[in-house]
Homo-oligomer: A and B are copies of this chain.
Amino acid sequence: MEGNQVKLEGRGITAARGFKGSGISCGLKNGKKDLAVIYSEPEARAAGVFTRNLVCAAPVKQCQANLANPIRLIVINSGNANACTGEQGRRDTWAMAEKSASGAGLDPSQVMVSSTGVIGVPLPMPKINTGIGTALENLNAGEQADLDVAKAIMTTDTRIKQSAYRCTTPMGDFHLGGVAKGSGMICPNMATMLAFLTTDVKIERSLLQELFTGAVNRSFNVITVDGDTSTNDTALILANGAQRQVEITENSDLLGAFKDVLERVCRELAYMIVEDGEGLTKVITLHIKGARDEESAHILSRSVLNSPLVKTAFYGEDANWGRILAALGYAGVDIDPEKVDIFIGPYQVAENGGSVPFDEKEMKKVLQERDISVLVNLKQGPAGLTAWGTDMSHEYISINSDYRS
């Protein structure tokens, strides 16, 4: 059963019981909010998914090291990624955890640290330390706290990104909310996708990790703006059991409802990141059907959505299915090009790898929309996937060729 799900408009990271947050300015981003804290009153189980880039920033390693601990606090700064900062970067990350722990009366092992912003510049620790104090004094729950956290983690984002649901079940209500940042990998050196989720269900850590990994694979991992993987990408979820009567287990009737809400929030946040993609004029929703397995559907979708030629064709409102087919062909997955069908919007443009005549005028209407859907049917097997990408515009080049300064 799916439970009765209600979207909590205007809510995000503190929608679940027992969580508080705050977002303040400590001077990293010219007076804009740049430091956030997410706090759980009960000890929370944590699960996380991190960048696979070997160039991985110190805060990512700190989160990984503490992932199995009972967690009470996440501290996040924007404006500086603390990446490529060597030994000094490691010391600064651990100092952030210690400062936050002592301010909140916790052990440093109960704190996770996250950073996003410019690469290769040491953190200005005096500012950070003062900011942590201020943030801990301003902890709160509610719409304003949600908004403050959402703003404080932004870098080149043009919009805040949050989502939350309440789900009513026979065992009681539970809540799940989240906040994210990211819009490509990003203008002057600003990097990274970050996502933080909170929920008040009771759940074992290993099950939480399994469910979160699955949800991330079908949401944050199917979006691509430019194919570059950041040094700091982090998605974390905390489950604090504040609604202790709502327990999620492998065999629980509530498992389906929890999975559903979790995936929904992840997908909504992921879509918001794509939609805020750097210099995009169009969002491409790519449905892969008939693949051998989900893994190969995944590789194929990335190959198509990362192809500069496919992306520029959509920018030019050109139904250039040959570029889509070519990108499928070089993805490194065994497909039969002479079986591939391609649809753009409702219109078929290729059948069995060859061209299908279509009405150019009707197609023009489809391609002028901001949201364009593409269906690729490989006719090889039962697996499928829906992924999102963007076009590539003049604006993308402008944003990313700006000087670092």
Interface residues of A (CB under 8 A from B): 52-56, 83-86, 118-121, 185, 188-189, 191, 226-231, 307-309, 312-313, 315-323, 325-330, 334-338, 350, 352-355, 392-394, 396-398, 400-404
Contacts and interface: CB of A to CB of B under 8 A. Distances in A.
Given A54-B330, A55-B326, A56-B329, A308 B228 contact: yes
Given A54-B337, A231-B326, A308-B392, 6 more contacts: A228-B309, A230-B326, A316-B401, A317-B403, A318-B404, A392-B397
B318 A120 contact: no
Contacts of A334: 54
Nearest to A122: B355
Nearest to A351: B86
A318 B405 CA distance: 9
Contact of A400 (B83, B120, B308, B337): B308
Given A85-B354, A330-B54, A398 B402 contact: no
A327 B86 contact: no
A121 B357 CA distance: 11
Given A54-B330, A321-B120, A401-B312, A338 B229 contact: no
Nearest to A310: B228
Contact of A329 (B54, B226, B401, B404): B54
A397 B312 contact: yes
A84 B315 contact: no
A274 to B, nearest CB: 16
Nearest to A184: B309
Given A312-B400, A400-B316, A86 B352 contact: yes
